[in-house]
Amino acid sequence: MENQKGYDLYITSESATVQDYLDAVNELIVYSQISRSRNQNSKCEGCPRCCAERIPLTSIDVELMMKGLGFSSFAGFINKYCHVVVDGPVVDIILAQNIKGECVFLKPDGRCSQYRLRSLVCQTFICSPSTPRAVKLRETVVNKGEDELVRRWFREGRNKKGELIIHEAWEPDLDINDWQVNAFTGKKEYRDVLLREVCTQELWHILTKER
């Protein structure tokens, strides 16, 4: 974009984790001078313009939020803070929204009430131009984390004799085999998930090539 300052990212270590990725993006948000297409101030602080969108959750987001908010029941957390939509074979588990279509955690002053617990999607979105490899990494990490959350949702439902929590549904046609074990399986923190295991070989190759 003309006159817009964006960002690229590349991976320098074989043992880089999703937490390293989050740390890098958080540092970028706070300290860099990159442009913000939705905010003339070019700062995220106090700006709520991306908090009224679909916010998909990963298995680790839910793990960390449950711990941080004192929930021991997965179903209790999903019912209070999430919205589960089933559309044919697709399951979408997102943060719930208030009547204005804003995230449940958004405060009236435009700040996040759970900033330290905010989702991976919240932490990695910046309304700045970015390179295709940066976009692809975000998309890949989010998708794997979402898939693992859906696997957990199925599992928890089965434990409760097949009672899946669904808030909206259109002709559900679900098959648990569509959600396979992946790099997020069994992991409770982002530092436990290796980017090497999240990325395809091709994406890893692209991301580890310094320009």
The set of residues, in sequence order, having a beta carbon less than 8 Å from that of 203 and lying 6+ positions away, is 133, 136, 137, 140
Residue with smaller CB distance to ligand SF4, 126 or 134? 126
Residue with smaller CB distance to ligand SF4, 52 or 166? 52
The set of residues, in sequence order, having a beta carbon less than 8 Å from that of 56 and lying 6+ positions away, is 92, 93, 94, 119, 121, 142, 146
Residue with smaller CB distance to ligand SF4, 61 or 179? 61
> Closest approach of Cβ 73 to ligand SF4, in Å?
20
> Closest approach of Cβ 142 to ligand SF4, in Å?
13
Residue with smaller CB distance to ligand SF4, 106 or 193? 106
Question: Helices 74-81 and 59-69 meet at what angle, rounded to 10?
Answer: 90
Of 67, 80, 58, 74, residue with least CA distance to 157: 74
> Closest approach of Cβ 101 to ligand SF4, in Å?
11
Of 98, 103, 100, 133, residue with least CA distance to 121: 103
> Closest approach of Cβ 181 to ligand SF4, in Å?
27
Query: Given the rule CB under 6 A, which residues bind ligand SF4?
Result: 36, 38-39, 44, 47, 49-51, 55, 95, 103, 105-106, 112, 114, 118-119, 122, 125-127
